[in-house]
Amino acid sequence: VLDFNDPFSTEVKPRILLMGLRRSGKSSIQKVVFHKMSPNETLFLESTNKICREDVSNSSFVNFQIWDFPGQIDFFDPTFDYEMIFRGTGALIFVIDSQDDYMEALARLHLTVTRAYKVNPDINFEIFIHKVDGLSDDHKIETQRDIHQRANDDLADAGLEKIHLSFYLTSIYDHSIFEAFSKVVQKLIPQLPTLENLLNIFISNSGIEKAFLFDVVSKIYIATDSTPVDMQTYELCCDMIDVVIDISCIYGLKDDGTGTPYDKESMAIIKLNNTTVLYLKEVTKFLALVCFVREESFERKGLIDYNFHCFRKAIQEVFEVRMKVVRSRKHQSHMQKNKRPTPNGTPRMPL
């Protein structure tokens, strides 16, 4: 693990900050997305009273740190080194409870964004308007419009119109939180244009309607083709992954209990009642390709499988390049540390 003050650490493992007022739902989001906790179980979570850091290293692409901040954090406290934290941050997620009076949350959001932007102008600012499951559709739209307007007006009054805020309506009781996190993580993946291009080539040559590249652990999709994402389509893909993993854990192990339930032989076909086929194939031990195919196109399954083989090979090449970059940066970081003088002033000897 690299030192947080290390200039190479953020490139290798970007940092995502979860911020917001107390009881806004930050810890619940983290537990549901990354620990498969049932939304109902989050009701019993204790309030966070210290900064919690977690490494998410499911694959070469989904590879970052999440820092969950307590709502009562004080930026003016001299013991809080906000410059060090913001300097290494890729995305700042600010969670606002939509069912509460959000005036105080907007004031804290403005303070947080302005402080962070001065330290690191490259941070992606993501606003989760959370707990919208308790609002009507009209109320959701009105709340989002009001928060969007007030937050941007506050920035304009401070002369910071160039700061871009992204807004998402989220709830842990449906798939909206997974989709929002997918959009956040995708902005931190430098290979995203390459992955999207590979998916576009794959679907255009295979007669496929829509394709997602999923991280099977978190159900975050790290890339999709250039066609628009439909929420129902995304939910079906998430449900399919759950079914495949659950069944694989029961029947995928060997008789002696060894092996892995999800491996290169993992594959699933689900035929829907609207002449559409859901097709899942393992790409790596952490990634799955989930496709929507018309039944008439799925009759050419041999062609789809051949094109998938080419797609998987291309993904592995992207992985290899990524790992070479990571190793190179870690090596440079290690060399820099060895060049630093010891406390008595003598240079460090290389290990």
Residue 347, pLDDT above cutoff 70: no
Same domain, 224 and 86: no
| pLDDT average, residue stretch 42-61 | 75
Whole-number pLDDT of residue 60: 63
Q: What is the mean pLDDT of residues 45-70?
A: 77
Give one DSSP letter per residue of 58-112, joined into a string. SSSSSEEEEEEPPTT--TT-TT--HHHHHHTEEEEEEEEETTS--HHHHHHHHHH
Confidence of residue 218 (pLDDT cuts 50, 70, 90): confident
Q: pTM for the full model?
A: 0.83
Same domain, yes or no: 209 and 278: yes
Does residue 4 carry a pLDDT above 80? no
pLDDT in tens, 149-166: 999 999 999 999 899 999
Q: What is the mean pLDDT of the chain?
A: 85
pLDDT at 86 exceeding the cut of 80 = yes
Reduced to 3 states (helix: H, G, I; strand: E, B; else coil), residue 130 is: strand
- Per-residue pLDDT averaged across 254-274, rounded? 79
Identify which has the larger pLDDT, 199 or 252.
199
Q: Do 24 and 134 share a domain, yes or no?
A: yes
Name beta bridge partners: 16. 66, 91
Residue 238 lies inside a defined structural domain of this protein: yes
Q: Are residues 216 and 162 in the same domain?
A: no
Domain membership of residue 94 (yes or no) is: yes
Q: Does residue 284 share a domain with residue 202?
A: yes
Identify whether residues 17 and 164 lie together within a single domain.
yes
For residue 167, the domain's CATH number is 3.40.50.300
Within 13 Å of residue 136, how many CA atoms lie on the same side as its CB? Answer: 3
Task: Indicate which CATH number applies to the domain containing 237.
Answer: 3.30.450.190
Question: What is the residue range of 214's domain?
Answer: 190-323
Residue 340: pLDDT above 70? no
Please indicate, yes or no, whether residues 199 and 301 belong to a single structural domain of this protein. Answer: yes
Report the percent of the chain where pLDDT is more than 70: 88
Q: Answer whether residue 268 is part of any domain.
A: yes
* 4: in domain: no
What does R_g of the chain's alpha carbons equal in angstroms?
A: 22
Q: Are residues 168 and 194 in the same domain?
A: no
- Average pLDDT in the 7-33 region? 78
CB 60 within 8 A of CB 286: no
Residue with tokens 């959000």, as numbered in its chain: 102
Cα distances (Å, whole numbers) of residue 332 to 9, 89, 328, 340? 11, 20, 6, 13
CB neighbours (10 Å) of residue 298?
Answer: 19
pLDDT at 342 over 80: no
Same domain, 181 and 302: no
- pLDDT band with cut points at 50, 70 and 90 for residue 257: low
Q: How many CA atoms lie within 13 A of 181 on its CB side?
A: 28
